[in-house]
Copies of this chain bind each other. A is one copy, B any other.
C-alpha cells in the first residue's frame, strides 16, 4: 500500500507540474503542503509545549496539599462526577462535528480529519488563553473543568470550519484556529466576567460567535467562480449516512453540552431536562417543515441532519433557568422551524445576494438559533427566571456577534494572502488535493 501510494504521489506530482507550474497557473493555487504545513504545525506544537511548561500545572497537587496539611478537596472528588459529561462533550467535538461534515461526496477525509486536527490543536491553545484570562497571574491549574472548557473553545472553530468547508487548506485552518480561539476567549471573558451575563449552553458565545465568525471569513474568501455551485458540492447516499452519525451523537449528548459547567443540583438538572425536551420538540417540527417546504412533501436530508439540532443551540442560554419544560419545547419547536426555513430560503440568498457562501449552512444551525437563544435568554431574564440583567444579556449577544464579525473579517483577510496553499476553484470540495485518496 505504501509503495502504491508513493507511486501515485509521483504521478500526481508530475501531473501537477504539467498542469500548474508548466501551464503557469497562479502560484497562489499551489496546493503542495509539503514543508509549509508541517513546519507550521510543528512550530505551533512546540509553542504549545513551551507555553504549557511555563504556565500550566495540575489542579491541586496532592503532594503540595499534604505538605500544607490539607486533605483532598471536595473539588477533586467531583472529577469522576463531571467526567462522563466531559466525555459526552468530547464525543460531540470529535465524532459529532467531524462526521456531521462528511456529507460531501468527496470531502469526508478532510471533514473528519481536519476536524480532528483543529480540535487537537485548539484544545491546547484554548487551555492556555482561557487559563491566562481566568488565572489572575497565577499558574493555570488544570482540572476537569478546564478540559471541558478547552473542548468548548474548539467548537467555535469547528462551526466556522463548516462555513468554509471545502474551500480552504489545512494550513489556513491552523491559522484560523489560533486567531478564533483567542478572540473567543476574549469575548467569553467579557460576557462572563464583565457583563456577568448568563449563557450556560453558550448559544451566544459559542454558537452565534462561531457562525458569524465563519460567515465573515467566508464572505472575505468568496469565490465568484463557484456562485453557480460545484460538481462536488453534493452528497451521496452513504456520505449522508455517515453525516447522520455526527448528527445523532451531537443530538444525544447536547444535554451534556448545556449542563457540563452548570451549577450542581437544581440548575444542572434543569439544563439536562430542558435540553432533552427542546431537542425532542425540535425534531418533530424539523421533520414537519422539511416535508412542508418541498414540492412533493419529501424529507430533505440536509434539514434532518442539521435542523433537528437547532433546539439544542436555541435553548442553550436559558437551559439552566426555570423556563418550564413546555417553555423549552416551545423554544426547540421554533428553532427547528427557523432552521429549515433558513436552509430552504436563506442559504441560497446568502450565496447569490450577499456573496457569502456557507457550505454547511452554519448560519441556520448555529447563527439563527444562537440569536434565538440569546433572545430567549433576554425574555427569560425579563420574566424573572434568572438574576442577571436584561441589558447585560443584550450586551452579551451584541458583543458575541460583534467580536465574531470583526475577528472573522480580519482572519479572512489574513487567510486571503496567496501563499497558504488554498485550492483552486476547480479543486474545491475534493480530498485528493491534500490527501492520498484510494482509487
Contacts and interface: CB of A to CB of B under 8 A. Distances in A.
A367 to B, nearest CB: 17
B283 A52 contact: no
Nearest to A270: B58
Nearest to A52: B326
A87 interface: yes
A53 interface: yes
A281 B240 contact: no
Interface stretch (A37-45, A212-220, A410-418): A37-45
Given A143-B269, A294-B9, A288 B41 contact: yes
Interface in A50-64: 50, 52-53, 56-63
Interface string A325-364: 1100110010000000001100110000000000000000
A252 interface: yes
Number of this chain's copies in the assembly equals 3
A116 B283 contact: yes
Contacts of A62: 265-266
**Residue in A79, A242, A266 with the greatest tally of chain B CB atoms within 10 Å:** A266
* A interface SS class: helix
A41 B273 CA distance: 22
A161 interface: no
Given A248-B98, A299-B435, A121 B268 contact: no
A1 B300 CA distance: 11
B58 A325 contact: yes
Interface in A213-236: 229, 233-236
B76 A37 contact: no
Given A41-B284, A58-B325, A266-B61, A235 B438 contact: yes
**Residue in A109, A235, A348, A436 with the greatest tally of chain B CB atoms within 10 Å:** A436
A105 B1 CA distance: 12
Given A53-B324, A116-B248, A12 B83 contact: no
Given A13-B295, A116-B308, 19 more contacts: A2-B302, A2-B348, A48-B281, A49-B326, A52-B325, A58-B324, A62-B265, A79-B272, A91-B252, A109-B240, A116-B251, A120-B282, A121-B283, A124-B329, A143-B269, A237-B438, A298-B434, A299-B434, A301-B435
24 contacts: A1-B234, A3-B229, A5-B294, A6-B294, A10-B295, A34-B296, A35-B292, A42-B285, A52-B329, A53-B324, A56-B325, A57-B324, A61-B322, A83-B85, A87-B88, A98-B244, A109-B237, A112-B244, A117-B283, A120-B279, A120-B284, A142-B325, A245-B245, A298-B434
Interface of A: 1-6, 9-10, 12-13, 16, 32-39, 41-42, 44-45, 48-50, 52-53, 56-63, 72, 76-77, 79-85, 87-88, 90-91, 94-95, 98-99, 102, 105, 108-109, 112-113, 116-117, 120-121, 123-124, 142-144, 147, 170, 229, 233-242, 244-245, 248-249, 251-253, 256, 264-266, 268-270, 272-273, 276-277, 279-285, 287-289, 291-292, 294-302, 304, 308, 322, 324-326, 329-330, 333, 343-344, 347-348, 434-438
